[in-house]
Chains A and B, each alone.
Chain A
Amino acid sequence: MAEKKLSLEEKFDNLDEIIEKLEDKDISLDESFKIYAKGMELLKECNSDIDSIEKKVQVLNKDGETHDF
Chain B
Amino acid sequence: MPNIYSVVQVNNYIKNMFAQDYMLGHVYIKGEISNLKYHSSGHIYFTLKDDKSAISAVMFAGNRKGLTFKLEEGQSVVVNGSIEVYDRAGTYQVYAKAIKLAGQGDLKAQFEALKNKLEEMGMFDKQYKQPIPKYIKTLGVVTAPTGAAIQDIINITTRRNPYVQIVLYPALVQGDGAPQSVIEGIHALEAYGVDVMIIGRGGGSMEDLWGFNDENLAQAIFDCQVPIISAVGHEIDYTISDYVSDMRAPTPSAAAELAVYEYDKFIEQIEGYKQRLDKAFTYKIDYKKGLFENYRIRLKNLSPESKLNDKKMRLINLEERLSHLMTVKVDSSKHRLEVLAEKLSGLSPAGKLAQGFSHVSDESGKTVYDYKRVKKGDKLNIHVENGIINATVNEAKAL
Complex Cα spacing A49 to B195, Å? 14
Complex Cα spacing A32 to B291, Å? 15
Q: Confirm or deny: A59 has a beta carbon within 8 angstroms of a beta carbon on chain B.
A: yes
Residue contact A57 to B188, C-beta cutoff 8 Å: no
Complex Cα spacing A47 to B266, Å? 9
Select the residue from A46, A49, A66 with max chain B CB neighbours within 10 A: A46
Contact residue among B134, B163, B191, B284 (Cβ-Cβ distance under 8 Å from A52): B163
| Cβ < 8 Å to A, chain B residues 127-147 | 133-135, 137, 140, 145
Q: Confirm or deny: A25 has a beta carbon within 8 angstroms of a beta carbon on chain B.
A: yes
Residue contact B189 to A60, C-beta cutoff 8 Å: yes
Residue contact B277 to A55, C-beta cutoff 8 Å: no
Known: A12-B273, A22-B277. A60 touches B188 (CB 8 A): yes
List the A side residues contacting B285 at CB < 8 Å. 29, 32
| Cβ < 8 Å to A, chain B residues 263-280 | 263, 266, 269-270, 273-274, 276-277, 280
| A22 nearest in chain B by CB position | B280
Contact residue among B164, B270, B284 (Cβ-Cβ distance under 8 Å from A22): B284
| Cβ < 8 Å to A, chain B residues 105-143 | 133-135, 137, 140
**Distance between B199 CB and nearest chain A CB, rounded to angstroms:** 13
Residue contact A43 to B270, C-beta cutoff 8 Å: yes
Residue contact A55 to B134, C-beta cutoff 8 Å: no
Select the residue from A40, A50, A51 with max chain B CB neighbours within 10 A: A50
Residue contact A62 to B184, C-beta cutoff 8 Å: yes
Contact residue among B135, B164, B277 (Cβ-Cβ distance under 8 Å from A40): B277
| Cβ < 8 Å to A, chain B residues 247-289 | 263, 266, 269-270, 273-274, 276-277, 280-281, 283-285, 287-288
Contact with A along B25-61 (1 / 0, CB 8 A): 0000000000000000000000000000000000000
Contact residue among B134, B166, B188, B277 (Cβ-Cβ distance under 8 Å from A15): B277
Residue contact A59 to B273, C-beta cutoff 8 Å: no
Count A interface residues, CB 8 Å.
Answer: 35
Contact with B along A18-60 (1 / 0, CB 8 A): 1100110101010010001001100100110111111101111
Complex Cα spacing A52 to B263, Å? 10
List the A side residues contacting B270 at CB < 8 Å. 43, 46-47
Residue contact B191 to A8, C-beta cutoff 8 Å: no
| A49 nearest in chain B by CB position | B135
Residue contact A55 to B165, C-beta cutoff 8 Å: yes
Q: Confirm or deny: A9 has a beta carbon within 8 angstroms of a beta carbon on chain B.
A: yes
Q: Confirm or deny: B192 has a beta carbon within 8 angstroms of a beta carbon on chain A.
A: yes
Complex Cα spacing A46 to B281, Å? 20
Complex Cα spacing A58 to B166, Å? 6
| B280 nearest in chain A by CB position | A22
Q: List 8 additional contacts besides A19-B277, A60-B169, A60-B192; criterion CB under 8 Å.
A: A22-B281, A22-B284, A36-B281, A43-B273, A51-B163, A52-B163, A55-B163, A59-B169
Q: Which residues of A contact B (CB under 8 A)?
A: 7-9, 12, 15, 18-19, 22-23, 25, 27, 29, 32, 36, 39-40, 43, 46-47, 49-55, 57-62, 64, 66, 69
For the complex of A and B, list the 6 residue pairs with the smallest distance between their C-beta atoms, beginning with the closest. A22-B280, A8-B135, A55-B165, A54-B162, A36-B281, A57-B166
